[in-house]
Amino acid sequence: MTELYDRVQRSPRQKTFPWWAVILAIALVVLTCIGLFISRPQHIKNRYEACMDAVSASTIYAKRHRGVRALVDGQELRLRESNARSIYSSLAALGVGHFTDRLPEGEPDATLYYSDTSVMRLWRYPLKRSSSGRWEGVFVSFVSLEGNTYSYYTDRTDWQNISWPLSPESNAPWSN
């Protein structure tokens, strides 16, 4: 009888909480966050390179076809080939900008219509905080032939430096 009593008196073994599973889950979350943080600059660089590839392709296409029509200060201009290339070269030389999905308010300061139906809009862009010490930058929004939109601003130049190829003095009026 004591044997039966001993069996009844012993409490069943309680299961312990698997802390190793919690620690493993936390470690996976932390490693995923670190991976995303480390890969972000590469993602931004890839996005910028895709944008510049699209601008380059549109510029080359425009050279072979009807060119680039620019709307600047209410005037329609036919950009000279060298001026269209200069816009592309300037943007490419500036390097990666700060990508955003929000466009500036108001009308763009210049709109470029490429003959392949791509469109680039450029704004003077006031800077709140700039690593270059500038108070004004340039906001670029480019919609490629495929419909991809790339919008970013740069604090590495100002409107005067980027807009000189868009002047009416160095481009002919647009005529069909």
Over 80: is that where the pLDDT of 142 sits? yes
- For the cut 60, the answer to whether the pLDDT of residue 8 exceeds it is no
Within a domain: residue 3? no
Assigned domain for 57 exists:
yes
Sign of CA dihedral 98, 110, 61, 63: negative
Average pLDDT estimate for 117-130: 86
Instruction: Label residue 52 exposed, middle or buried (CB < 10 Å: 0-12, 13-18, 19+).
Output: middle
Read off the pLDDT of each residue in 132-141 and give the average, rounded to a whole number: 83
Q: Which domain holds residue 92?
A: 19-173
Collect contacts of 133-138 with beta carbons under 8 A, ≥24 apart. 134/158, 138/162
Count the domains in the chain. Answer: 1
Mean pLDDT of 10-32: 75
Q: Is residue 70 part of a domain?
A: yes
In a domain, 6, yes or no: no
> Quick check: is 14 in a domain?
no
Look at 133 and 121; give whichever has higher pLDDT.
121
Question: In this predicted structure, which of 13-27, 119-133, 141-155 has the lowest mean pLDDT?
Answer: 13-27
Query: Is residue 106 a part of any domain in this protein?
Result: yes
Whole-angstrom distance, CA of residue 139 vs CA of residue 126: 9
> Checking DSSP bridges between strand 136-143 and strand 149-154, what pairing results, if any?
antiparallel
For the chain, state the CA radius of gyration.
29
Q: Is position 2 within any domain?
A: no
9 within a domain of the structure (yes/no): no
Determine the pLDDT at residue 67: 85
